[in-house]
Amino acid sequence: MNAPISNAPIRPQVQPRHDWTLEEIEALFDLPFTELVFQAAEVHRAWFDPTEVQLSQLLSVKTGGCPENCGYCSQSQHFKTSTVASKLMEAEAVIAAAAEAKAGGAQRFCMGAAWRDLKDRDLPRVAAMISGVKALGLETCATLGMLTPDQARALKAAGLDYYNHNLDTGPDYYDKVVTTRTYQDRLDTLAAVRDAGVSTCCGGIVGMGETRRDRAGLLQALATLPAHPDSLPINDLMPIPGTPLGDSDAVDGLEFVRMIAVARIVCPKAVVRLSAGREHMSRELQALCFLAGANSMFVGGKLLTTANPDKDTDAALMADLGLRPMTMA
């Protein structure tokens, strides 16, 4: 007699690796599209509930005037854009914004400051923001530029859960995007964050003129870190007039889905965030990204200085796809 057919889902035990080669990752990109998405979906289901999406909201707590020359950024003082610089917000205003975000459904609140590095004089105010947001019951995240080990420990003591510090692109393309900070500078900050016991949020941007090999190089850099990023944001470039990348051509939608899928495979335990660029993505493209392993997104109508779909649009998308907010630990 034939064995009964089980209806239980297949749960492949895909263990994280830290020895991915560039050639292996390029081979994943080269898979037939449907096969790549299928493999990524299997990996996703091995570690996560595929119907759950983690919801984050991002606030610029200090805007513009940054001395870095990142070619995609409207906040760099090197470029003439429409962004108006502002000073560091008061902690009370940030906490109030976080409370509003939580009421709107956000689970993690991210605070971003346009700095090259965090100055010790600003640390007490930033720590007060983090402590206040944490007290609301939200996960806390910050992106403040480069950190020293002592600063990372101080942010941890204040209640910081995640620190965002993107690698932006692969190491071979990096100097085509930014020259005021080295790749090693970024890796050093990530090491300081890990050593302090803070979870890392680290990913990059596609659509800056890089090749598929450069994208594979970014994912190899992430997948060979001593610890994979806990959150892995993939941003689709939002071209900003006045920046060097303001006239960049859009990346093909299916190529963007491939980036999501390969990120899911090589960093299987990471929460892969569909980040900047959703404003110009169709509902169908976003659905493919979730199918390919994305399980986080930013909510709220603004990301630092660029647009993001509004709450009602996202609520409708999640309802139509049968998605729900992620169950938080």
Tens-digit pLDDT profile for residues 25-40: 999 999 999 999 999 9
Active-site residue identified among 11, 17, 45, 70: 70
Tens of pLDDT along 155-174?
999 999 999 999 999 999 99
Residue tagged active-site, from 181, 201, 264, 278: 201
Exactly one of 108, 110, 186, 264 is catalytic; name it.
Answer: 110
Residue 226 lies in a domain: yes
In eight-state DSSP terms, residue 279 is G
**Catalytic site residue from 66, 202, 267, 289:** 66
Half-sphere exposure of 306 (CA within 13 A, CB side): 19
In this structure, what CATH number is given to the domain that contains residue 277?
Answer: 3.20.20.70
Residue 130 placed within a domain: yes
Domain limits for position 166: 22-323
Determine, yes or no, domain membership for 61. yes
Active site residue 70: yes
> What ranges make up the beta strands (E) of the chain?
52-62, 108-113, 139-143, 162-164, 199-201, 204-206, 231-236, 271-274, 296-298, 302-303, 306-307, 324-325
Q: Is 201 a catalytic residue?
A: yes
Q: With respect to residue 28, please indicate whether it lies within any of the assigned structural domains.
A: yes
The structure tokens listed for 102 are: 């939580």
For all residues of the chain together, what is the average pLDDT?
A: 89
Q: For the chain, what is the domain count? A: 1
Catalytic member of 45, 125, 141, 213: 141
Q: Is residue 14 a part of any domain in this protein?
A: no
Given a contact cutoff of 8 angstroms between Cβ atoms, the answer to whether 295 and 327 are in contact is: no
Indicate if 110 belongs to the active site.
Answer: yes
Told to judge if 289 belongs to the known catalytic residues of this protein, a careful annotator would answer no
Q: What is the pLDDT of residues 174-215, one digit of tens each?
A: 999 999 999 999 999 999 999 999 999 999 999 999 999 999
Instruction: Give the residue among 128, 24, 121, 254 at the shortest CA–CA distance from 111.
Output: 128
Catalytic residue among 186, 258, 273, 278: 273
Q: Does residue 328 lie in a domain region?
A: no
In a domain, 214, yes or no: yes
In a domain, 13, yes or no: no
| Spatial CA neighbour of 142 closest among 121, 120, 114 | 114
17 catalytic? Reply is: no
What is this structure's pTM?
A: 0.90
